[in-house]
Structures are given as structure tokens and as C-alpha cells.
Copies of this chain bind each other. A is one copy, B any other.
Amino acid sequence: VSLTRYAERYERELFENVIPFWLAHSLDREHGGYFTALDREGRVFDPRKYIWLNARQVWTFSKLYRETGRKPEYLEAARLGAAFLRRHAFDEQGRPWFSLTREGAPAFFQRKPYAGLFLMLGFDEFAKATGETWFEREAARLQRDFGRWTSEPALLGRPAFPALPPSSALADIYGTLCMAQQKGETEPQPAAVQALDAHWVEGRRLWLETAALDPARRLLYPENRLICVGSIFEITWLLLNAPQPHARTLDALEGALEFGWDREYGGFFYFQDVEGKPMLPLEGTMKLWWVHVEAIYALVRAYAATRETRWLRWLEVVDGYTFSHFPDRAHGEWFGYLDREGRPTTTLKGNNYKGCFHIPRALWWSAQAIRALP
């Protein structure tokens, strides 16, 4: 079947264009950890070590080490990040910094729980790759703390504004589901799945990015009207891990594909207002690499689960846009940030939010899912 050609292309892209770029430019063999702020050619334009991205890269290299023949260079790359993070990532209370200097001194603290999420994923995968129990225990500790940090943001120093409606973040649900999957649980946590209900927009078949929990003020503030279809794609494939996926999973996928696709220029918008009103983030109309590659994996998983051709038709469209716009054939890796018309607004390959994670994860898992089709 022609799907095999997708799998071949994803593997080739991953092992010939993406991973070599990070192996060549990202490893800091002098101080440990990874540079992720890399320009088009791979030169470092910011020597800081960003925790989200260092932790995610540990995950990527540990995963590839375990699943692609235990190549020593992958393990060495994973260890370079894991050891650096073990030494420098946390404050005295076990809360992760957001960034460190090249040498490992604190450079910024973000009052959000997501550095902890990515450290949990990276450490757990590294523990699976090496059997080193410190990382397994620390991953378990971070999984518990992520729950505390999301339910009690004051633990991270986040002030409360009681006059605003309480809200639920899709990113927190994603984190909970993602860590459960990492631990090998096949059933998504019921509380996380139930939390999705407050995000559902009935007529549109979408999940809101940050759902206000007061019905009277549900869509009053622009942040509570935001849709990020990239987040919906991620939730979709996480839910498809369950033997009996949540009933709305495929509805949400189709809703996001239809709402998010730019019929004029192609590609998925980054952010949209569910009512079509203006938004506060300036990057809403841009086309971002991770949204597209997560859509590819969600579509592969939807097809694998249903064998319905509607997902293949969408896959052809999304795959076509993605591979004709994002990969850089001259210097490797992908561009990350396109304007609405599809032109890169910057040629950087990594920064404080783009690293070695979404592309390898989605390409590898998509290829694996296609190969596993009977």
C-alpha cells in the first residue's frame, strides 16, 4: 500500500535530515547539555540551555537509542543532556528552572509546570534506556509534582487573580495524558479525560485551549476563546492510545482539521479565536512546524484505528504542505516559523521553544504506526 511510502519518507527525513543536524550542532561536549538556539547553518546564537528543550532532547535520543538498534552515539548524546539536567535543572525545592547559562547557572524561572513535564518524560525514557534508577525515581517525583503544580500554581510563585474565571488548560491535560502514556498505561487517566468536557465547543467540535469554568463568562476573555489545533492534534493521538478511545476523539480531529486549515494559503493557523474575533497573541496567523507534524501523526493514528479514507485524504494534504514548506534541503532540519503565506519569517532551526522533539517523535511514531498496519 502507498502508505509504506510515507513511512519510508518519514524515516529517511528523520535519520538523514533531522537527527544529523542535532548531533552535529547541538551537543555541548565542554559543559554538557544541548544548545538549541541554532541558526540556519547550525551555529549557536544563544548559549543558554533551555530546560524544556534539553529535557525533550534527552527523551528523543533515549527513545531512538532504545528502538533503533542501541547506537552508542545516541546513548552518549542522551547522557550528555541527562547528566547536565540532573546537576543543574532544579532549585533547592526541586522546581525546574526555565533556562540556564551555558555553564549551568540559573538564567530564568518560568511560573509554569511544563519544564517539569518534559523533565519527567526525558528522565523516564533515559531510565528505560539505561536502567539508572535515580532517573526513574526522579521521573516519578516529577509526575507527582506536575499534578501539584497544576492544581496549586502558587507553589510555582504564580499569583492568583480571583476576579478572573477559574480555567482549565488543555496543556495540563496533555501533560497528564502524556506522562501516563510514558509510564505505559494503556487507559488514559479518567480525570484527565473528564476534564476535556469543559473544553468542548459543541457546534464546532473543538477543544478550547484554556477553558473558563464559569458558564456565564465562558467566552468573555480572548484567552478563553483561543483554539490551537496543534494541541488538539496531540490530545487526539494520546486518546487513540486507549483500547476504547473517548467518543469525541475523531470528531475533535475532524473539527480541528476543518477549522484550522487555511483555505486561502494552506497550512494550519497557529491560534484562532473560536468566534472569529481578534486575538492578543501576534503569531496567530503564522504556520508552525510542530502543529503540522503533530497533525500528521494524529492522522496516521486515526487511519490506523478506523481505516477510513477520509483520514488518508487529509494526510495527503497535510503531508504535502508540510514537506514542501518546512524542511531545509540546504542545511538540514526544518524551518519552524512561516508567515501566513508560507514563507519563513526566520531561518533559525531552534530557539527557546523549538528543539529536537516534535519532528523526531511524530516522524518516528508515524513511521512505526504505518509499519504496524497489518
Q: A residues within 8 Å of B by Cβ?
A: 37, 39, 45-48, 101, 103, 105-109, 159, 161-164, 220-222, 273, 277-280, 282-286, 337, 339-341, 345-348, 351-352
- Contact present for B221 and A280 (CB under 8 Å): no
How many Å from the CB of A93 to the closest CB on chain B? 14
Q: A45-B222, A106-B161, A107-B161 are in contact. Are A348 and B286 (CB under 8 A)?
A: no
CA distance A46 to B278 in the complex (A): 9
Given contacts A45-B273, A107-B163, A280-B351, 18 further A-B contacts (CB under 8 A): A37-B278, A39-B277, A45-B277, A46-B280, A47-B220, A103-B163, A105-B161, A106-B161, A107-B164, A109-B159, A278-B348, A282-B282, A282-B283, A282-B346, A285-B345, A285-B346, A339-B339, A340-B345
Q: A222-B45, A277-B39, A340-B339 are in contact. Are A106 and B282 (CB under 8 A)?
A: no
Interfacial chain B residues near A279, Cβ < 8 Å: 346
Interfacial chain B residues near A106, Cβ < 8 Å: 161, 163
Which of A45, A103, A106, A278 counts the most chain B CB atoms within 10 A? A278
How many Å from the CB of A271 to the closest CB on chain B? 11
Contact of A108 among B161, B220, B284 (CB under 8 A): B161
How many Å from the CB of A270 to the closest CB on chain B? 10
How many Å from the CB of A56 to the closest CB on chain B? 18
How many Å from the CB of A262 to the closest CB on chain B? 13
- By beta carbon, the residue of chain B nearest A283 is B282
- Contact present for B47 and A278 (CB under 8 Å): no
Interfacial chain B residues near A101, Cβ < 8 Å: 163-164
Task: Write 15 A-B pairs (CB below 8 A) sorted by A numbering.
Answer: A39-B277, A46-B221, A46-B280, A47-B221, A101-B164, A103-B163, A105-B161, A107-B161, A107-B164, A108-B161, A278-B347, A282-B282, A282-B345, A284-B345, A340-B345
How many Å from the CB of A202 to the closest CB on chain B? 22
- Contact present for A278 and B351 (CB under 8 Å): yes
How many Å from the CB of A160 to the closest CB on chain B? 10
Interfacial chain B residues near A347, Cβ < 8 Å: 278
Interfacial chain B residues near A48, Cβ < 8 Å: 221
CA distance A117 to B220 in the complex (A): 29
Interfacial chain B residues near A273, Cβ < 8 Å: 45
How many Å from the CB of A365 to the closest CB on chain B? 27
CA distance A279 to B283 in the complex (A): 15
Interfacial chain B residues near A103, Cβ < 8 Å: 163
- Contact present for B278 and A346 (CB under 8 Å): yes
How many Å from the CB of A303 to the closest CB on chain B? 33
- By beta carbon, the residue of chain B nearest A99 is B161
Q: A39-B277, A159-B109, A351-B278 are in contact. Are A346 and B284 (CB under 8 A)?
A: yes
CA distance A220 to B105 in the complex (A): 15
CA distance A45 to B162 in the complex (A): 21
CA distance A37 to B220 in the complex (A): 12
CA distance A45 to B159 in the complex (A): 25
CA distance A202 to B162 in the complex (A): 50
Interfacial chain B residues near A285, Cβ < 8 Å: 345-346
CA distance A106 to B164 in the complex (A): 9
CA distance A283 to B346 in the complex (A): 10
**8 tightest A-B CB contacts, nearest first:** A105-B163, A278-B348, A45-B277, A101-B163, A282-B283, A46-B222, A285-B345, A45-B278
